[in-house]
């Protein structure tokens, strides 16, 4: 599971953590519903997660298209905008869970958050 | 849902985000199993989350005892220790989901991460 934040928003560490947590929860609930046995395997494997960062929304959108093209599950986090950003702002893209090799192929070059 | 990080570990933003995401996923799966209708209500209410910080492990342990005394669900995140901390290190305490008034009573004074 890869949680990709949008660097240009310059979120605080706490706000970024919450966006990543939103994405992880949404991906988890979707995975559980979609394929319980694959989900159990991911859980048993330590529920691996990593947080990465791209500069802009356009980078995030491009990553989402690539992931969808490869059938990797994706989810957008839109912030309610009560604090640091405007309502409905896309703050984070979640990817997975998916085999490490598939995810690495599209996110392996991105820097850690 | 409150995700409380351990300040003394001085985790990077990315590492902190992953710990918070682990806690959120664990709390979510436990809540779903424990009480589906309360879980649905929390989901429908926007799945509120906040990330806070306490200085030390002892502060985190004290918070966990208080939460358990008030029947607020808790979960510990222990890091596999592949990168920034030793294996098994407790990095984050997750609390909830629970009514805001109950959670605020025990975490309302803590600083944002």
Tens of pLDDT, residue by residue, chain B (113 residues): 999 999 999 999 999 999 999 999 999 999 999 988 878 888 888 888 999 999 999 999 999 999 999 999 999 999 877 677 888 899 999 999 998 899 999 999 999 99
Give me the pLDDT at residue A52, please.
98
Of the two residues B68 and A99, the one the predictor is more confident about is B68
* Strand boundaries in B35-112, DSSP class E: 50-54, 74-78, 90-95
Q: Report how far Cα B54 is from the mean position of its chain's Cα atoms.
A: 11
The residues, ordered by sequence, that sit 6+ positions from A30 with a Cβ below 8 Å of its Cβ are A73, A75
Give me the pLDDT at residue A19, please.
97
Give me the pLDDT at residue B27, please.
96
A21 and B CB contact within 8 Å: yes
Contact A113 B14 (CB under 8 A): yes
When CB atoms are compared, the residue of B21, B50, B53 closest to A20 is B21
Q: Is the ipTM of this complex over 0.90?
A: yes
- Does A82 have pLDDT greater than 90? no
Give me the pLDDT at residue A32, please.
92
d(CA A3, CA A92): 7
Contact A53 B14 (CB under 8 A): yes
Residue B82 main-chain phi, psi, to 5 deg: -80, -20
CB < 8 Å from A in window 59-98 of B: 80
Q: CB–CB of A21/B23 below 8 Å?
A: yes
Give me the pLDDT at residue B23, please.
97
Give me the pLDDT at residue A99, please.
87
Average pLDDT, chain A: 93
Q: pTM of the entire structure?
A: 0.94
Three-state DSSP state, B23: helix
For chain B, domains (ranges, CATH) are 2-107 (3.40.1490.10)
Give me the pLDDT at residue B46, please.
82
When CB atoms are compared, the residue of A3, A28, A32 closest to B17 is A3
Pairing mode of beta strands A74-78, A90-95: antiparallel
pLDDT band of A37, cuts 50, 70, 90: confident
When CB atoms are compared, the residue of B3, B46, B47 closest to A17 is B3
A44 and B CB contact within 8 Å: no
CB pairs under 8 A between A and B: 93
**Residue A97, preceding peptide bond in cis (omega within 30° of 0):** yes
The mean pLDDT value for A6-30 works out to 96
The mean pLDDT value for A46-50 works out to 89
For testing the chain B interface, which of A7, A11, A21, A39 should be mutated: the one with the most B CBs within 10 Å? A21
Residues of B in contact with A14 (CB under 8 A): 50-53, 112-113
Enter the tokens of residue B90: 């407790």
B49 and A CB contact within 8 Å: yes
Quote the percentage of chain A above a pLDDT of 90: 75
d(CA B9, CA A38): 33
d(CA A11, CA A111): 16
A88: Cα within 13 Å, side-chain hemisphere: 0
Give me the pLDDT at residue B84, please.
78
d(CA A23, CA A7): 16
- Does A39 have pLDDT greater than 90? no
């Amino acid at each position: 599971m890869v949680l990709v934040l949008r660097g240009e928003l310059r979120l605080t560490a706490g706000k970024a953590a919450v966006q990543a947590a939103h994405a992880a929860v949404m991906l988890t609930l979707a995975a559980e519903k979609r394929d319980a046995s694959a989900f159990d395997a991911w859980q048993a494997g330590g529920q691996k997660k990593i947080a990465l960062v791209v500069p802009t929304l356009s980078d995030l959108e491009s990553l989402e298209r690539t992931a969808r093209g490869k059938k990797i599950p994706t989810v957008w986090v839109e912030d309610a905008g009560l604090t640091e950003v405007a309502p409905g702002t896309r703050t984070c893209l979640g990817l997975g869970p998916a085999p490490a090799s598939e995810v690495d192929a599209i996110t392996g070059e991105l820097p850690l958050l």
